[in-house]
A and B are shown apart, each in its own frame.
Chain A
Amino acid sequence: MIRVVLPGHLRTLAHVSSEVHLEIVGPVTQRSVLDALEAQYPMLRGTIRDHVTHERRPFLRFFACEEDYSLEPPDTPLPDAVASGKEPLLIIGAIAGG
């Protein structure tokens, strides 16, 4: 089981109140996690990565195990702790005022 923590606004859109749990067969990567997330919560398509290019939206970052994985290639395996469900993948919006 993969655990994903969404930003507050996306939790509202997806109608979830805490972290999201996903089942993934095969390598656990940014791409496979986001594919599974969008399949289970289709209302999130286009909100984390672009509909067409699948590039990460510029004001969002991916963190896990206190490391920033935002700039890693999408098929790079995420840490074992994420794959095992011990640690969540954090999707975080850039902090800004206003």
Chain B
Amino acid sequence: MSKVRVLVGTRKGAFILNSDGKREKWDISGPHFAGWEMYHLKGSTVDPNRIYASQCSGWFGQIIQRSDDGGKTWIQPGTPPDEEKGPGGMPKGESNKFVYDVSADSGKPLTTHMWYDGTQHPWEFKRVWHLEPSPTDPDTVYAGVEDAGLFRSTDGGQNWQELSGLRGHESGAGWQPGAGGMCLHTIILDPSDPKRIYIAISAAGAFRTDDGGKTWRPINKGLYSQYIPNPTAEVGHCVHHVAMNPSRPGVLFMQKHWDVMRSDNSGDSWTEVSGNLPTDFGFVIDVHAHEPETIYVVPIKSDGEHFPLDGKLRVYRSKTGGNEWEALAKGLPERDCYVNVLRDAMAVDSLDKCGVYFGTTGGQVYASADAGDNWSPIAKHLPAVLSVEVQTLP
């Protein structure tokens, strides 16, 4: 029987939840890296025992951790446990070294971007928001970082090189942070075209490369953001998250600051599909594993009030690719619920029926084993959840 492993990153450590294919009983291990902010953990689809984790701290900066046994043990890549205390220190991989490319041969190395007050501000590495393992090579993994940049490792997370063509885009000096910082939070690798990558940045917008990361183009046509000077600008939109069903890589769904959007042409243009949602503000969005027109969001009241409407936590599902939405409430709090669901905190498994999972800033992880019809908490009292990813195991 298949198994499911849920990887949960929280403000104070990581947790791993395991269940069999019934998804009724869950074992929770953790906290792993107790006390650290775990922004994101994600497993390789090629080698499910390979999991990458972003561990960070306001005090001590960024650490990258890797597990090769499904999360039982962890190493800092390049520093195997038996070498960690080598006399005199031997050359080791520096897995937490994220250095922006400012070399002359990289094209247009930038040293500043726009700050909140409109002045130019140096690019400063702060943390890794998202790790995206390659669908074909377990040693290749991409990292989306704050201040916005895209890095890649091809040696299992030991060494990282920036794909500086993104930051070197002509619009880069005009990118500006959102309230949560200028983060590259979404990375989607097109399974049908290894040279095509989608990324999204708050608050620059979505970008696409068709040449493996050398050159990038903004893909924000059709977005309308009334809070920026030019609401239809090519860049400057606060995109919260983008999702894709791998079986249909040209179709993208986006939760923007406000508005739920879809694109049927690889991001070349977008149309709004908020339809009958009670509020179209939110952070997460995801797509059913087997029904590419079935999508999920968690509506949040507003940008000033980051909690559900009326204290009722509800997932909304559209089976029509947007516009027509139904509230899913069975098993979710019906009153006095004022949590948020952050942008990387929803995921789906690939069992039949599709499982849907999300975590809250109140420390609950909710799961549905029937595509959203019924929900139950599989963890109730974790620290604030930053991210949720799911692995479907044989």
Q: Which residues of A contact B (CB under 8 A)?
A: 7, 9-10, 13-15, 38-43, 45-48, 50-52, 57, 59-60, 93-94, 96
Residue in A38, A43, A60 with the greatest tally of chain B CB atoms within 10 Å? A43
Task: Tell me, in angstroms, the Cα distance from A94 to B84 when the chains sit together.
Answer: 27
Could you say which of B60-68, B186-194, B208-216 contacts chain A?
Answer: B60-68
Q: Are B96 and A46 within 8 A (Cβ)?
A: yes
> Using an 8 Å CB-CB cutoff, how does the interface string of B55-93 with A read, 1 for contact, 0 for none?
001111111000000000000100101001101110010
Pair count A-B, CB < 8 A: 65
Q: Are A43 and B79 within 8 A (Cβ)?
A: yes
Q: Are B89 and A9 within 8 A (Cβ)?
A: no
B210-258 residues at the A interface, CB under 8 angstroms: none
Task: Tell me, in angstroms, the Cα distance from A12 to B57 when the chains sit together.
Answer: 14
Secondary structure call for the A interface: loop
B97 in the interface (beta carbon within 8 A): yes
Can you name 7 A-B residue pairings with CB atoms under 8 Å? A9-B60, A43-B76, A43-B84, A46-B61, A51-B96, A57-B59, A60-B59
Secondary structure call for the B interface: loop
B28 in the interface (beta carbon within 8 A): no
B97, closest chain A residue (CB): A51
B338 in the interface (beta carbon within 8 A): no
B35 interface neighbour in A9, A41, A43, A47, Cβ under 8 Å: A9
Residues of B within 8 A of A (CB-CB), count? 23
A57 interface neighbour in B60, B87, B99, Cβ under 8 Å: B60
B62, closest chain A residue (CB): A46
CB contacts (< 8 Å) of A52 on chain B: these are 99
CB contacts (< 8 Å) of B99 on chain A: these are 51-52
A59 interface neighbour in B58, B81, B88, B92, Cβ under 8 Å: B58
Q: Are A15 and B63 within 8 A (Cβ)?
A: no
Task: Tell me, in angstroms, the Cα distance from A41 to B60 when the chains sit together.
Answer: 15
Task: Tell me, in angstroms, the Cα distance from A47 to B62 when the chains sit together.
Answer: 7
Q: Are A42 and B92 within 8 A (Cβ)?
A: yes
CB contacts (< 8 Å) of B88 on chain A: these are 39-40
Q: Are A7 and B62 within 8 A (Cβ)?
A: no
B155 in the interface (beta carbon within 8 A): no
**Least Cβ–Cβ distance between A90 and chain B, in angstroms:** 14
Q: Are B60 and A39 within 8 A (Cβ)?
A: no
Q: Are B97 and A41 within 8 A (Cβ)?
A: no
B47 in the interface (beta carbon within 8 A): no
Residue in B59, B85, B92, B98 with the greatest tally of chain A CB atoms within 10 Å? B59
| Contacts A46-B61, A59-B58 known; 17 new A-B pairs at CB < 8 A | A7-B60, A9-B59, A15-B81, A40-B88, A40-B89, A42-B84, A42-B94, A43-B92, A45-B96, A47-B96, A50-B61, A51-B99, A57-B59, A59-B59, A60-B60, A93-B59, A94-B59
Q: Are A46 and B94 within 8 A (Cβ)?
A: yes
Q: Given A9-B36, A14-B84, A15-B84, is A47 in contact with B92 using a C-beta cutoff of 8 Å?
A: no
B60, closest chain A residue (CB): A47
Q: Are B60 and A48 within 8 A (Cβ)?
A: yes
CB contacts (< 8 Å) of B60 on chain A: these are 7, 9-10, 13, 47-48, 57, 60, 93
